[in-house]
Chain A
Amino acid sequence: MRPVAVAAFAQTTHTDHDTGLAEAELILPVIRAVREQSGLTEFGFTCSGSCDYLAGAPFSFVSALDALGAWPPIQESHVEMDAAFALYEAWVRLQHGDVDSALVYGFGKSSMGDLREIMTLQLDPYYLAPLGLDQLSYAGLQGASVKSDTASIARRSWESAQTNPYALKLPEPVETAPITDGAAAIVLVAGDLLRDRTNLAYINGIAHRIDPHYPGMRDLARSASAAAAATAAGVGEGPVDVAELHVQFAHEETILAEALGLPGDTVINPSGGPLAANPVMATGLIRIGEAAARVMDGTAHRAVAHATSGPCLQHNLVAVLSRES
């Protein structure tokens, strides 16, 4: 594989309410920040992750391109998923070898609608969506299947978030990720752009796997797809100092820690994780950014990032990052 590294990461100071900024206005400062950090103003490839249903407007990601300066035309793509999966597409694109940089960003304003019912719209239209099964309900079914000390997970996440200036200032620990507006961006570099840079977090492994959509078709106490992604990304091939996990419900951490085979001394979600800030469609990308930031600042030699999509941890992406390629 062609070596690819994270060269820059930025996120908004997330809010629990609509500050009055449109999506493009929300993205603008994080795009500016990663351009400054990376020293790059143009990118060989651009890929974003967002969800039209959050804004209730078709092709809302197109208007978000206003924040980039997309003329003359740029090579651009989009996933209707968390931007962590846009990062995967960018990583694949960099494997082609003809471009050396990629900009990835994700954004979401959950404050505008009813997130619990918007998540119903991702469910299959024959068996699940007509029931009105909402996000809290299907998470509740998974939570019932696993033994988890959710109170401790919530408390640790809340305590960790006290030193994260971008997280929400929650008055007390929560076991369900809070409604959040926010955005994040990452710059990936490869090839010649790796040479002159010292502050990089190399993506040593990245993979995603998926389980059957229907929750009744799988063992909800385990995540076979997260385990398979972790094996493919090489999580078990070395120590894991830090793991940033896409935990939107506290019990998911228990399932993921087992599936990823994390050692007992791994520090999980030192940022506070999604239980401290959950800007949907950017939350997974932030996990990769936070893990990269720990590698870049030297607090972690080897870090793992995880992102998820779909009901009950259906689809899981795992990346391993370190200072060396």
Chain B
Amino acid sequence: MPSEPNPEINHVLEFPGGYTRSTGPVIGRFLTELRAGRIVGVRTAAGKVLVPPLEYDPATGEPTLTTPERTAPARDPVLSHDFVEVGPAGTVREWTWVGEPRKNHPLDRPFAWALIRLDAAHTSLVHAVDAGTVKAMRTGMRVWPRWRHDRVGSITDVECFVPEVTTIVANVRTEYTVTPGAALARYLDALTREVFLAGRCPTCDGVYVPYRLSCPQCGSVIEEELEVGPAGTVTTFAINNLPDPRAPQVPFVSAYILLDGADTPIIALLAEVPPERVTEGLRVRAVFEGGTVKWFAPEREA
């Protein structure tokens, strides 16, 4: 063992500019087609389409090009028998999820490596699938290439594959100008004076709050106005654990409150009390703020 301290040094192995490698006619054709935005395979003597193409049939060792000695242009009719356009879509045969991409990986966010059987191919292409989340990945899913805009003739001209389009997001947003209607306008106006305005049906004697112009039971015109509340009784309630724009903090309690003097309950927020302390029959009183009801709170003992 060395007795002196053994200093650690950083050592970088790099070939500036990289190696220049010739592609040969088969790989070169594949990369040239890729640069043009197409994926091709090569057909073996047995009729199998190898993607990515190999210079030899792995089953027999025979050359895949029927005219290997020729340097044929891309559209040569003989070579076009050997090369077959495949995909561009394919089916995921196997996949494995990468939760933390490495710096050399094709994507800088979580993705899957997959063996992709492109349509019309008999072998599988290894490439990345940008599916967003692992939950979106499954064997048998359909994927399409995402092409780079500036292609150079490299396997990375396909940035990655992406899932087939099966859903869209339809956004809906329109704006309106609304009025509360004659009865509700009177009710809201009364609230600014911290008064709950109700109406009594002349036929069935029911007292309705908010104030309305006709009885929802018998249809009679309501003419008698009266004030109810502002205290009342909880008839039922719910503890909500999903935040609402009007009640951002959870849990919050929404309750049906039967105002004193009314025959129908109104729904309102209930606050200033822990949710587990809310019970049916709880006596509550409106808390006004800014010209409307902020919420109801338990009625304090006088």
Chain A residues close to B by CB (< 8 Å)? 18-21, 53, 56-57, 116-117, 120, 125-128, 130-134, 137-138, 140-145, 212, 214-218, 220
Any A CB within 8 A of the CB of B125: yes
Task: List, in ascending order, chain A residues with CB within 8 A of B123's CB.
Answer: 214, 216-217
B58 engages A212 (CB within 8 Å): yes
- Nearest residue in A to B101 (C-beta to C-beta)? A132
Contacts A144-B95, A215-B115; A134 near B104 (Cβ below 8 A): yes
| Size of B's binding interface in residues, CB under 8 A | 40
Of B21, B23, B27, B94, the contact of A145 (CB 8 Å cutoff): B94
Prevailing SS type, chain B contact patch = loop
**What CA separation (Å) do A144 and B115 show in the bound complex?**
10
A217 engages B96 (CB within 8 Å): no
Could you name 11 residue pairs across A and B whose Cβ atoms are closer than 8 Å?
A116-B102, A117-B104, A120-B104, A126-B27, A126-B52, A128-B155, A130-B156, A131-B127, A137-B113, A142-B94, A216-B51
- Nearest residue in B to A212 (C-beta to C-beta)? B58
**What CA separation (Å) do A231 and B115 show in the bound complex?**
29
Contacts A141-B126, A216-B123; A131 near B11 (Cβ below 8 A): no
A141 engages B1 (CB within 8 Å): no
Which chain B residues numbered 100 to 135 have a C-beta less than 8 Å away from chain A? 102, 104-106, 113-116, 123-128
Q: Closest approach, in angstroms, between the C-beta of B172 and any C-beta of chain A?
A: 40
Task: List, in ascending order, chain B residues with CB within 8 A of A216's CB.
Answer: 51-52, 115-116, 123-126
- Nearest residue in A to B53 (C-beta to C-beta)? A127
B11 engages A117 (CB within 8 Å): no
- Nearest residue in A to B122 (C-beta to C-beta)? A217
Task: List, in ascending order, chain B residues with CB within 8 A of A214's CB.
Answer: 52, 54, 123, 126
Of A18, A20, A131, A217, the contact of B54 (CB 8 Å cutoff): A217
Any A CB within 8 A of the CB of B249: no
A126 engages B31 (CB within 8 Å): yes
The 8 closest A-B pairs by CB, nearest first: A140-B96, A132-B104, A216-B124, A20-B6, A56-B13, A212-B58, A144-B94, A132-B105
Any A CB within 8 A of the CB of B198: no
Which chain B residues numbered 166 to 187 have a C-beta less than 8 Å away from chain A? none
A127 engages B115 (CB within 8 Å): no
Of B31, B97, B116, B155, the contact of A131 (CB 8 Å cutoff): B155
A127 engages B126 (CB within 8 Å): yes
Contacts A117-B104, A216-B125; A137 near B96 (Cβ below 8 A): yes
Contacts A117-B104, A217-B54; A131 near B156 (Cβ below 8 A): yes
Of B6, B51, B102, B155, the contact of A126 (CB 8 Å cutoff): B155
Any A CB within 8 A of the CB of B2: yes
Task: List, in ascending order, chain A residues with CB within 8 A of B128's CB.
Answer: 131
Q: Closest approach, in angstroms, between the C-beta of A150 and any C-beta of chain B?
A: 13
Which chain B residues numbered 121 to 164 have a C-beta less than 8 Å away from chain A? 123-128, 139, 154-156
Task: List, in ascending order, chain A residues with CB within 8 A of B139's CB.
Answer: 144
8 A-B pairs besides A53-B13, A127-B126, A131-B105 with CB distance below 8 A are A127-B27, A132-B104, A134-B105, A142-B94, A143-B96, A216-B115, A216-B124, A217-B50
**What CA separation (Å) do A218 and B93 show in the bound complex?**
12
**What CA separation (Å) do A134 and B31 show in the bound complex?**
22
Any A CB within 8 A of the CB of B268: no
Any A CB within 8 A of the CB of B98: yes
Task: List, in ascending order, chain A residues with CB within 8 A of B127's CB.
Answer: 131
Task: List, in ascending order, chain B residues with CB within 8 A of A217's CB.
Answer: 50, 54, 58, 123-124
Task: List, in ascending order, chain B residues with CB within 8 A of A56's CB.
Answer: 11-13
Task: List, in ascending order, chain B residues with CB within 8 A of A220's CB.
Answer: 94, 115
A18, A125, A127: residue with the most chain B Cβ atoms closer than 10 Å? A127
Task: List, in ascending order, chain B residues with CB within 8 A of A134's CB.
Answer: 102, 104-105
Of B31, B95, B105, the contact of A141 (CB 8 Å cutoff): B95
B51, B124, B154: residue with the most chain A Cβ atoms closer than 10 Å? B124
A132 engages B126 (CB within 8 Å): no
- Nearest residue in A to B19 (C-beta to C-beta)? A125
**What CA separation (Å) do A116 and B128 show in the bound complex?**
17
Contacts A133-B113, A137-B98; A215 near B126 (Cβ below 8 A): yes
Task: List, in ascending order, chain B residues with CB within 8 A of A215's CB.
Answer: 115, 124, 126
Q: Closest approach, in angstroms, between the C-beta of A309 and any C-beta of chain B?
A: 17
A120, A138, A141, A215: residue with the most chain B Cβ atoms closer than 10 Å? A141
Q: Closest approach, in angstroms, between the C-beta of B281 and any C-beta of chain A?
A: 56
**What CA separation (Å) do A250 and B48 show in the bound complex?**
33
Contacts A141-B94, A141-B113; A128 near B102 (Cβ below 8 A): no
Q: Closest approach, in angstroms, between the C-beta of B137 and any C-beta of chain A?
A: 10
**What CA separation (Å) do A132 and B127 show in the bound complex?**
10
Q: Closest approach, in angstroms, between the C-beta of B92 and any C-beta of chain A?
A: 10
Task: List, in ascending order, chain B residues with CB within 8 A of A18's CB.
Answer: 8
Q: Closest approach, in angstroms, between the C-beta of A215 and any C-beta of chain B?
A: 6
**What CA separation (Å) do A214 and B122 show in the bound complex?**
13
- Nearest residue in B to A118 (C-beta to C-beta)? B13
**What CA separation (Å) do A219 and B106 show in the bound complex?**
25
Task: List, in ascending order, chain A residues with CB within 8 A of B126's CB.
Answer: 127-128, 131, 133, 138, 141, 214-216
**What CA separation (Å) do A133 and B104 show in the bound complex?**
8
Q: Closest approach, in angstroms, between the C-beta of B109 and any C-beta of chain A?
A: 14
Task: List, in ascending order, chain A residues with CB within 8 A of B155's CB.
Answer: 126-128, 130-131
